[in-house]
Amino acid sequence: MSDQPTDQPLAGKVALVTGGSRGIGRAIAEVLAADGATVAVHYGSNREAADEVVAIITGKGGKAFAVGADLSKKAAAQALFAELDQNLQSLTGSTKFDILVNNAGIAPFVSFADTTEDVLDQIYAVNFRSLYMVTQEALKRLNDGGRIISTSSILARIPVTALPAYSALKASIDNLSKALAVELGPRGITVNVVAPGNIDTDMNAFAADPNTKAWALSKQALQRVGKADDVADVVAFLAGPRSRWVTGQVIEAGGGSGLTF
């Protein structure tokens, strides 16, 4: 990866971004494509949104295509890669790829007392089980020297009571990624986590509600709500050649949230 020109550091690379049709995932897909990668934009149910991202990328001269799978279901990883394999075989003549970005996730605002088994199972299925199984399938195809980047959350370090299950399961991503970094080191594959803080997306109630927004900003060194691009640029760094000596790390993209007591 280190031989690529700096204006297109991912030229010739192929990336899969789960949850790539909206919010942070959309920004990640667009910046990876701008850096030269061919991007598979995953969607769960909204094909139209994924096609819109693909159209934006291709309209700027980039390369992208959409792949769908409901990651809340068992065997979703196999379904996702069956479609991905077909597309890659057609485009490149191979099912191999270089960059996996595990970004898909849900964040229902449910208190600990109100969390039912069904809600807990849904959060677990999308936010952790699918990531685990998608990564497992990806490793059958990921080129040596590749990249695995997962989006966690600053709430893995400083949980909030409105999102107890979400906070706890995001912490499991941080832990898993450290173990995988050691396991995959001999293949030259780096494994890292980007942990967003208060980011303005349609999934983030903190950015929408004035009271919670003020509270979040009071805990933050950089006094603003983050943008999806703020996270995507960190992911792009980790996907590129300049991050070659970085692995097993959790990098917070949260404007310096919760740095002091």
Active-site amino acid positions: 166
- Structure tokens of 153? 């959350």
Which residue in 155, 136, 249 sits closest to 205, CA to CA? 155
Cβ neighbours of 29 (radius 10 Å): 32
Are 103 and 20 in contact by the 8 Å Cβ rule? The answer is yes
Q: How far is 20 from 49, CA to CA, in rounded Å?
A: 9
Identify the bridge partners of residue 246 per DSSP, sorted by sequence position: none
Distance of CA 68 to the CA centre of its chain: 16
Question: Which residues on neighbouring strands pair with residue 142, listed in sequence order?
Answer: 97
Q: What does the DSSP 8-state code read for residue 127?
A: I
Instruction: Give how far Cα 222 sits from Cα of 139, 170, 197, Å.
Output: 37, 23, 11
